Structure formats: structure tokens, C-alpha cells
A = this chain, B = another copy of it.
Amino acid sequence: MAWNFAAGPARLPDMVLERAAAELFQRGADGACAIERPFTGPGFRAVLDHARQQLSTLLDLPGNYQILFLAGGAMQQFSLLPMNLCAPGQPAAYANAGYWSARAMAEAGKQAAIVEFVPPATGVWEVPANCAYCHITPNETVDGRAYSAVPDTGPVPLAADCTSSFLTAPLAVEKFGFIYASAQKNIGPAGLTVAIIRDDLLERCPADLPAPLSYRRQAEGNSCVNTPPMFAIQMAAMVFDWITEQGGLAAMAAAGQRKAALVYGAIDRSDGFYQAPVAVASRSPVNIRFHLVAPEQTEAFITEAAIAGLHHLRGHAHFGGLRASLYNAMPEDGALALASFMTDFARRYG
């Protein structure tokens, strides 16, 4: 058995790969398969409606929010968010808490004035009231760090890059103004971003934005202002079906906690052989960052792990070390195999 711990593009559910291979390329009575049909026709519209309905149900989506299926990755939203939501001259607040929140802030800085917000240890975030929104990255994929709770930013809408944590646990959508997530971790294949926006924020979108990049136009146009990334949306619908069949987001969160406990447990019981640089209260349940106390053993770890069927464990270049990503599609057996290998490796090299 081989396990893929890549941070994204990442493992997709077995059932989704099987369904995609079996369903998306079979031509029907009209001589067309699912990716060969007009996006304006009833076949694709049914898929799109199903995807939206399944996701709404999973998230228990309040009625005053719209789901958008947008082309491209989350990085594009770093710019589109201020382009859509900031009035001319209006600043936006960014909580800089890691690699990706810093990159989001840097890109947004090309479009709007940035207020770098330093979160308080506790209590309401007193974000300057003139800010268009306050941006956070609830789970930092590279740093392996997660917020333990959704902050309260008062009257300033909270905007969040939820890429690596999306659908791994129930989400209190009503606490956010705008949520976005690249597909390639928990939603489907790369090339799609899911966004969720509160209705009142759609009013802000300037009329002169490029049509496919306008949240308002995409909301009005059912995410079909132009030909959408149909294949990715069709696979996303299958992923939403799979999560539903597994028991929904509470079941994802419970399984995620069990998987994370296995790997963090192997770290914490290693007598310092493995080091987790993130404080326990901030540990990400999906991106587990660690390193060897003897860094010269890192290559041996990666090599032997691969022989044991454990792949894509090298840490992001920004920090080095090791990282294991445990998204929804990683079975507990995968986390168990990694934890067992880690314990054995520590015994042999420690």
C-alpha cells in the first residue's frame, strides 16, 4: 500500500477517482460525454445545481450567502478580493500569521492600502472600522498552524482563505463575509476555486470589473459568466457526495482528529527525536509540520519512508524539514502507517 501525504494537489477519495474515470468520459445518446457538452445545457446545469445544493447542505449555508465556482486557484483571489470589495481608496486589514497570509497580503497590496492587523491574545478584534474587510488564513498550510477559533471582527466583514481546512470540519459560515478555497486539497482537482459570499457584499463589486472576475456577475450568472472549469466542478460534486455519504463535516472532523492524534502522538512520544515547531494549541490537524532533532537524518527518513510506501513527506522549501498532510481523503490507515513508521524509524536512528 502506498500513501500520498502531499500538501496539495493531494489525495482524492478512491470512490471519486473511480466515478470520474467511469462517468466523465462515457459518451451518451447525444454522442457527447460530460466534458464535451455545452455548459449551458441541462446536463451540466444539473451537475452545477447538485454541487451547489450538496455543498449548501454540508455547510448548513445561511440563506443570505451565495456559492461561486470560479476558475483558477486561490492566489487569484488574493487580488480579486480587494478588487471586488474595496471602495476606491478604502483599506483592507490583514492578519499576517504565516506564509500564505503574508502572500495574500502582499498581492492585495497591489490593489488596495493594507492595514496589517496584529490579533489580540483574546477577545474581539478591534479592526479599524474603515477597512473593507479583515483577512485571515484559518489554516496555514506551510506553517502547519491553525486558528483554534473563528475571530470576532465586529462590524468589519471577516474574509478567509480556507483552502487547506475547507470541509475538514463544520464551518460557522455566518461569522464570515467571504470564504474561498482552492479545490486541490479537499474539493477536487486543481483549476477551481469555491467562494462563498454574503449577499450584501455583492453590492460593492465595481461595475467595471472584468466580467468573469466579478463576484457579482458570477453570482448573477450562476457561476457561468463564461465557460466554467466543468471537469473540476463535476469532480467537486462527486467529492461533496462522498463527504455526505461519510456522514458530513462532523464525521470529517472526528476522523481528522483521530488521524492527527496518531501522527502528533508519534512526535510527542519520541522523546524529542521528532520536533513539532508549532505550539500545541495552534497545531494544524491537516498539515503536520515536524523535523528531526538530527536534521542530517532527514534524507534517510524520506528515503526509508518511501520504501515503506509513505510519499511526498518533504516539507515546504520555505521551512524545510517534513510535513504530512492529512486531508479528508486520507484514510486512518494512512495516518497509522505513517505513525508506525515514525516510531520504528526513531527506535532505529534515535
How far apart are the CA atoms of A219 and B180 in the complex, in Å?
26
> Contact at B110–A210, with CB atoms within 8 Å?
yes
A85 to chain B, nearest CB (A): 15
Q: Which among A17, A38, A71, A190 has the greatest number of chain B C-beta atoms within 10 A?
A: A190
Known contacts: A182-B227, A191-B191, A191-B231. The answer to whether A31 contacts B11 by CB under 8 A is yes
Q: Shortest beta-carbon distance, A195 to chain B, in Å?
A: 14
Contact of A32 (CB < 8 Å), options: B211, B229, B311: B311
Contact check, B36 vs A73: say whether CB atoms are below 8 A apart: no
Judge whether A212 and B9 touch: CB under 8 Å: no
- In the assembled complex, the CB of A128 is this many whole angstroms from the nearest CB of chain B, namely 24
CA of A175 to CA of B191, assembled, Å: 31
| Contact call A212/B31, Cβ cutoff below 8 A | no
User: A228 contacts which chain B residues (CB < 8 A)?
Assistant: 190-191
Distance between A175 CB and nearest chain B CB, rounded to angstroms: 27
Q: Enumerate chain B residues within 8 angstroms of A173, measured Cβ to Cβ.
A: none
CB–CB B232/A231 < 8 A: yes
- Report the minimal beta-carbon distance from A48 to chain B, rounded to whole angstroms: 13
Closest 5 A/B residue pairs (Cβ): A191-B229, A2-B31, A79-B210, A71-B72, A75-B226
Contact B21 A36 (CB under 8 A): no
Which parts of A32-52 form the interface with B (CB within 8 Å)?
Answer: 32-33, 35-39, 41
Q: How far is the CB of A317 from chain B (nearest CB, A)?
A: 9
Given contacts A4-B30, A72-B226, A189-B231, 20 further A-B pairs with CB under 8 A are: A1-B31, A2-B31, A4-B27, A4-B32, A4-B37, A7-B38, A21-B21, A21-B22, A21-B24, A31-B311, A39-B190, A73-B227, A75-B226, A76-B210, A76-B226, A78-B210, A110-B209, A111-B210, A190-B230, A229-B232
B36 touches A25 (CB 8 A): no
CB contacts (< 8 Å) of A41 on chain B: these are 312
A202 an interface residue at 8 Å Cβ cutoff?
Answer: no
A227 contacts which of B17, B71, B184 (Cβ < 8 Å)?
B184
Residues of B within 8 A of A227 (CB): 8-9, 73, 182, 184, 190
Of A6, A17, A231, chain B has the most CB atoms within 10 Å of the CB of A231
B9 touches A29 (CB 8 A): no
A38 to B11, CA, bound (A): 10
Tell me the minimal C-beta distance from A16 to chain B in angstroms: 9
- 8 A Cβ contacts from A297-315 to B: 306, 309, 311-312
A278 at the interface (CB under 8 A from B): no
Q: Is the CB of B36 within 8 A of A191?
A: no
Do A312 and B212 touch (CB < 8 A)? no
